[in-house]
A = this chain, B = another copy of it.
Amino acid sequence: MRELELPVAVEVWVPCHITCFFEVREHENPIETGSRGAGLNLDLGVKTKVRVEESSKLEVVGGIEVSRDAVKRILEGLGLAVKVEVHHDTSLPLGVGFGVSGAMSLGASLALSVALNSMTIHQAGAVAHITEVEHMTGLGDVIAQVHGGVEVRVREGAPGVGVVDWIPHPDDLEVVAVALRSMTTKEMIEDRREVIDREGRRALINVLSRPTLEVLMSSAREFAEAVGFIDLELKRVVNRCVELGALGASVKKGVLYAVGRGKAVGDVYNYLKEQFKDKQVVKCGVSRGGPRVSPASSLEGS
């Protein structure tokens, strides 16, 4: 193992991610397991700070279970006994459908990797992906978040194993989203596996045959209706978003989201704020380029 100057702290930002539709693809090896589908990377994300200090034993504190486990996996692989503190900072909720657990797992893994000068982004992403698959907290968020943009997962698996393509989008594209309710990934998949796989595959074929935002969003909506994310009440809301000028709107797990440009985005935002007075409504851009590593200088004194 290379020599380390401890303590060292690194901060990484990872975009949040809304899956538009997906198909579960299981294999024996978690590095090959994942989902095919498509989704939106948001310019709202999770900041993860990792601080590594000397210790007589391997110790990981802070974070959430999946981010601590990603860190442990890396340290065990390197045979490194250090103390690692993990701290996450985000304005979006866990367990609703924003890919927050993936962002936390990837953030912790990548920040630690940068602190130790040890891995490429695919390698750090693979650790985060495997940890997510083993905990059943996510199947495709990590590889999507590594790639950024409006992504299409054409082959499942961890970063470096799966294949991600992109749908071109104008730079001024915006997303409005409402956190409606919590639902675990496990619960979502167990209850609806057959229809998810059938409808996810159909939606992917649609989007690859005409890769535009409009087709993405209409496919996302058909998926959500078939899978049962959109009930009659939400159907009315989704329709109204489109009437107000959104390019499309749909629901994934506990997130209702719409995409659009210009004035329409503000109108949709105001409408949703009014409809869901007690819920968190956000408006943001699409993030390209995956995770960002903060300059070390910003962590001085940490």
Contact = CB atoms under 8 A, between A and B. Distances in A.
Contacts of A296: 170
Contacts of A170: 293-296
A119 interface: yes
Contact of A288 (B208, B288, B295, B297): B288
A256 interface: no
A70 to B, nearest CB: 15
Contacts of A154: 160
A226 interface: no
B117 A212 contact: yes
Interface in A243-302: 261-262, 287-297
A231 to B, nearest CB: 32
Nearest to A163: B160
A92 to B, nearest CB: 21
Nearest to A171: B292
Interface in A129-171: 148-149, 152, 154, 159-160, 163, 165-171
A293 to B, nearest CB: 5
A120 interface: yes
A149 B121 CA distance: 11
Contacts of A294: 170-171
B166 A117 contact: no
A167 to B, nearest CB: 6
Contacts of A167: 120-121
A181 interface: no
Interface of A: 2, 110, 113-114, 117-124, 148-149, 152, 154, 159-160, 163, 165-172, 208, 210-212, 261-262, 287-297
* 7 shortest interchain CB distances as A-B pairs: A289-B289, A288-B289, A121-B166, A172-B295, A122-B165, A120-B211, A170-B295
30 contacts: A110-B168, A113-B168, A117-B210, A117-B212, A120-B167, A120-B208, A121-B165, A122-B165, A122-B166, A123-B165, A123-B211, A124-B168, A148-B288, A148-B289, A149-B290, A154-B160, A160-B165, A168-B293, A169-B293, A170-B294, A171-B294, A171-B295, A172-B295, A172-B297, A261-B295, A262-B297, A287-B289, A288-B289, A288-B292, A289-B290
